[in-house]
Every structure is written in structure tokens, then in C-alpha cells.
Amino acid sequence: MKSKARICIPVCVRRADELASAVQRAAEEADMIELRLDYLSEIELSRAGQAIASALQLIDQPIILTLRPAEYGGARPIGAEDRLYFRLQTDLLRPHQDDFWDLELDLALLLQKRAKEGNDVAGMNLCDWDRTICSYHDFAGVPADLEKIYESMAQTESRILKLAVQADDALDCLSIFQLLDRAQHEGREMIAIAMGQAGVMTRILGPSRGSFLTYGSVDDESATAPGQLTACELRDVYRIDNIDRQTQITGLIGRPVAHSISPHIHNAALAKANFNAVFIPFEVQDVNAFIKRMVRPSSREIDWELRGLSVTAPHKSAVIGGLNWIDAAAREIGAVNTIVVEGDELHGYNTDAIGFITPLKQRQQSLAGLRCAVIGAGGAARAVVWALKAEGAIATVFARDEAKAEMLAQQFGVAYKPLSNATFRDSDVVINATPLGTRGKAEHETPATKEQLGEVRLAYDLVYNPFETRFLSDARAAGCETIAGLEMLMAQAVEQFKLWTGKHPNVEVMRAAAKRRLGMN
């Protein structure tokens, strides 16, 4: 086995003659390989026997043979008789290997019933239950009768039980972890997964909590279920081999979180420092329910060593009500982006403000009297304005929504102006605190053109993906010095790391991880 925590890579090809090379490619990363034969058409499957045998000769890893019908998330409709016929081709598994069949619950129950009735279905060898994974999939959500489904599966003689449900909220993972605990308690081997971005934690923590394996893909394009990570990410970013029940958990709560590069930055720093700790993205809908049921030690329904959380949109303000103590900066800004679990207390901080100001102070020691135009009136702008004021700089808010600009300006006692037709002639620094320029549909947009930036000394973009935004390249063309959003992201992450671990992280390792994730090297 390549790793302590088993990673199984599903292979899904449309033609039997593609099996061998796909299996070999998967074998470079996998501890187990699942052949998803439902991806072969009926005709391809009928003549695939030799291709399967040849492919299996190329690898040492155990395999799982799966012919999943569409109603359980498979690639095509397959009738019960065809599934049964396929399952009876027992010579497809290698005799001296720990190979498995994946058999959906309905078929497992049918076979069991027939066997019990003495109808040994066309020679079905009962010993084969030792090589059977009895599976149940729900792509619509978490079934209300999950425990009952588990009990039906446990009634079959299958060696391993597999349950995969769809998670829409991180809280949906609780039932998966509870099921893994139950299976362990009852001495059953189990694979339990919550699919979807909200279920990612089950893929990362599952093996350390008793899951027989976790599924990974060869690359981002070949993921076979929503939320699936690559085998490389599981092993190298999340270090699932090192995770145990003592591992300190940190992570990001927000919605969405899939785009975030924070897991790459923090996990690289945790690995470098050799901490038994991991940073996980948690897609959370109801932040207060999450705090109660998964975070606060006295009320949470999961036994884990949660150390702290990073908080992103849309929860930075809403989370405040669930905390015991907030530091002065976070209270005045009205947003918490970092939580630390201290005993049974939850403490809130805002590291965006210091993260913003640190790169600026590296260029200019005193910011007193510096004239700063802040574009945007959202959460980040609030932290920026607060930090500038604290340093004695003179901030002016520019926003497309004048009412929002006025509200923010009044709260912090600064000036505001409309964004349309703005000139920044009177500004030393222009700060983009809007998402304009972010990878995707706003990528080629900028809140200030080269012409508008002509007399400005420094342009500071909070957007970090891409590293080089149009705002920054226009500013440079206008002769301005620039600060990229990645600098703020790194500086605020350094402060978070210090709050959770009490240690200073290796910043170069964090920066390299961020750049790798942004495709810069």
C-alpha cells in the first residue's frame, strides 16, 4: 500500500481498449482501483472480459469492480438481470488478490434472499460475500432513514458496507461520522462519504475515523463524484496519512469555499512546522448551527480536536453572536475572520486589518497623513478603512452605491465620494477593495483606469486571483508602485497561524504553495 490511509481511484473509460492505460495511470497514485464498468456501453462491456483481465495483470493494487446503474449514480441505465449476470462472472476477480465487487444494496438483498431460499443463484458462491462491498448512494441529500439503511446493509453478509450521501451543508457530515463510529463499535468495515463540496471533510478525515478507504481522482477533470479531491491533494496537501484522532483541526468556514487557496497556504505551513494538524474547507450554510453542533466543545456532536477557524463571506459578521470574546479590532470593524477555540470559549479576531496594513508599512514606515482612496464599501473595505485610520492615514471611500459609501464613511469618521467619474488626483494610494479583476467573468475589469491612476504613487489590489490583475498592470503602466492582493492574503494568514499555533509560520513555504495553486510556477 502506498499510504496508511487507503486512496481508491475510480477508472471510468468509454472503451474497453482504454482500460489498460487508464488503470496503469491510476496505479501510479492509488492504493486501490475501482473499475467503473458502467461507463462502458453494453456492447463494449460484453466483450471486455479479456481487456479487464489484461489490465489487472499490469497492477498489484486490489481492485473493485463496479457496474453502477443510473438510479444509483451510474453512467447508464442497467437492468437488474444484467447486473446480476455480470456479478456472477466471479472469474473476473483475481484469485490471490484482495479484490472486491461493489454491489448495490437492492442486489445484495436479492442475492441474499435467493441464497437463503436455497436457490444458489446460478452457482453464486457464498464465500464471495467476503469480497463484496454492499453500497448505497443518495445523490439528493442525506436520507432521513440513514440508520435503517445501514441496518439493512449490515444484515447482508457483505464484508464492507459503503454509504455515500449528498451534503449541502457541512453539518450533513455529522451523520456520516456518527455512522462510522457505529460501524466501528459494531465491528463492521465501512466506507462512508458525504459527496459535494460540503462533504469534503469526510473524504479527508474519513480514514482516520474508520473509513476503509477514501476516493480520490487522478486529476481535477476525472473526478467521478462532486467534491472529490485528487489523490495528490489528499496525500500531499491534506497529508491524510498523518491524520489521526489527535490531529488538530483548523479550517475555513464560508460559502462557497471551493475557490479558496487558504487550505494550500495553511497546510503547507503546518507540514513545514511538522505539526499534527490539518486545515480543511468547510462549506457552511447556517453558521450559528455549525458553531453549536460542530465547534463549541460543550455542545458539539463530534469528538475532534478543533483548534480554530478562518471565516470568510458570508459569515464574517453573522458569526459574532456565537462567540464569547471578540478583540477590539474585530468589534470595531464588525467582522471576525478568525476564531480560536480556548477551552470551552470561542474567541474572535480580525486579521484582515493587520494583513492589509503590513505590506503597506513594509514600504512606508509611517502612514500618518497618507491620502488613501478606498474603492468599495463591503466587508474588506471596512477592515481597510479601520486599519488606515488606526495608523493616522486619511481615507476616502469611493463606492458605486453612494448610500453604502456614506454609511461606512460615517461609521469610521472619514470622507466618501461617488465612484463614477472619480479622479484620484488627490490620493497617494488607491486601494481596490471590490472583486473587480477576479478570475472569471470580472477578470478584465478594473475599478480605476491607467488614466485615473496617473498621479497616484501606489496602487494596492485586494484581489489575489489572478496574481496580476488589470488594475495592477494599468497602475504599473501609469508609473505607480503596486502591492498585489496575495501579499495581504499571506500577511493575514501568518497572523491566523500564530493565533492557532503560537508559532511563526514559514512564510516562503506558504507563498510558494499559494503561487503553485494560482498556477504561477
Q: Nearest distance from residue 371's CB to ligand NAP, in Å?
A: 20
Rounded distance between C-alpha atoms, residue 294 and residue 304, angstroms: 9
Q: Nearest distance from residue 436's CB to ligand NAP, in Å?
A: 5
Q: What residues between 287 and 346 interact with ligand NAP by CB under 6 A? A: 313
Q: Which stretch binds ligand NAP (CB under 6 A): 42-50, 244-252, 396-404, 506-514?
A: 396-404
Contact status: 352 vs ligand NAP (CB under 6 A): yes
316 is catalytic: yes
Which CB sits closer to ligand NAP, 132 or 438? Answer: 438
Cell triple for residue 515? Answer: 503561487
Rounded distance between C-alpha atoms, residue 345 and residue 362, angstroms: 35
Nearest residue to 313 via CA among 365, 370, 381, 374: 381
Which residue of 74, 199, 207, 379 would you call a contact of ligand NAP, by CB under 6 A? 379
Nearest residue to 42 via CA among 91, 77, 87, 80: 77
Q: Does residue 184 contact residue 156 with C-beta atoms inside 8 Å?
A: no
Contact status: 434 vs ligand NAP (CB under 6 A): yes
Q: Which stretch binds ligand NAP (CB under 6 A): 33-41, 253-261, 357-365, 375-383?
A: 375-383
Contact status: 466 vs ligand NAP (CB under 6 A): no
Residue with cell 436455497: 118
Based on DSSP, count helices (H) and strands (E) in the chain, helices before strands. Answer: 18, 20
- Annotated catalytic residue, options 316, 389, 450, 498: 316
Rounded distance between C-alpha atoms, residue 172 and residue 140, angstroms: 12
Which CB sits closer to ligand NAP, 146 or 488? Answer: 488
Contact status: 400 vs ligand NAP (CB under 6 A): yes
Residue with cell 489498460: 20
Q: Which stretch binds ligand NAP (CB under 6 A): 280-288, 291-299, 420-428, 482-490?
A: 482-490
Contact status: 489 vs ligand NAP (CB under 6 A): yes
Q: Which stretch binds ligand NAP (CB under 6 A): 19-27, 290-298, 429-437, 451-459?
A: 429-437
Q: What residues between 445 and 464 interact with ligand NAP by CB under 6 A? A: 447, 462-464
Which CB sits closer to ligand NAP, 438 or 482? Answer: 438
Provide the β-strand partners of residue 274: none
CA 270 from chain center: how many Å? Answer: 17
**Burial track 336-362 (b if 16+ CB lie within 10 A, e otherwise):** bbbbbbeeeebbbbbbbbbbbbbbbee
Q: Which residue's CB atom is positioned nearest to ligand NAP?
A: 378
Q: Nearest distance from residue 463's CB to ligand NAP, in Å?
A: 5
Which CB sits closer to ligand NAP, 332 or 352? Answer: 352
Contact status: 376 vs ligand NAP (CB under 6 A): yes
Contact status: 409 vs ligand NAP (CB under 6 A): no
Q: How many residues does the chain have?
A: 521
Exposed, middle or buried: residue 313 (CB in 10 Å: 0-12, 13-18, 19+)? middle
Which residue of 200, 329, 488, 510 would you call a contact of ligand NAP, by CB under 6 A? 488
Q: Which stretch binds ligand NAP (CB under 6 A): 197-205, 221-229, 262-270, 487-495?
A: 487-495
Q: Nearest distance from residue 156's CB to ligand NAP, in Å?
A: 49
Q: Does residue 269 contact residue 509 with C-beta atoms inside 8 Å?
A: yes
Which residues have CB under 8 Å from 39's CB, separation 6+?
Answer: 12, 13, 14, 75
Contact status: 114 vs ligand NAP (CB under 6 A): no
Exposed, middle or buried: residue 369 (CB in 10 Å: 0-12, 13-18, 19+)? exposed
**Applying CB under 6 A, which residues contact ligand NAP?**
313, 352, 355, 376-381, 399-401, 404, 419, 433-436, 438, 447, 462-464, 485, 488-489, 492
Annotated active-site positions, please? 316
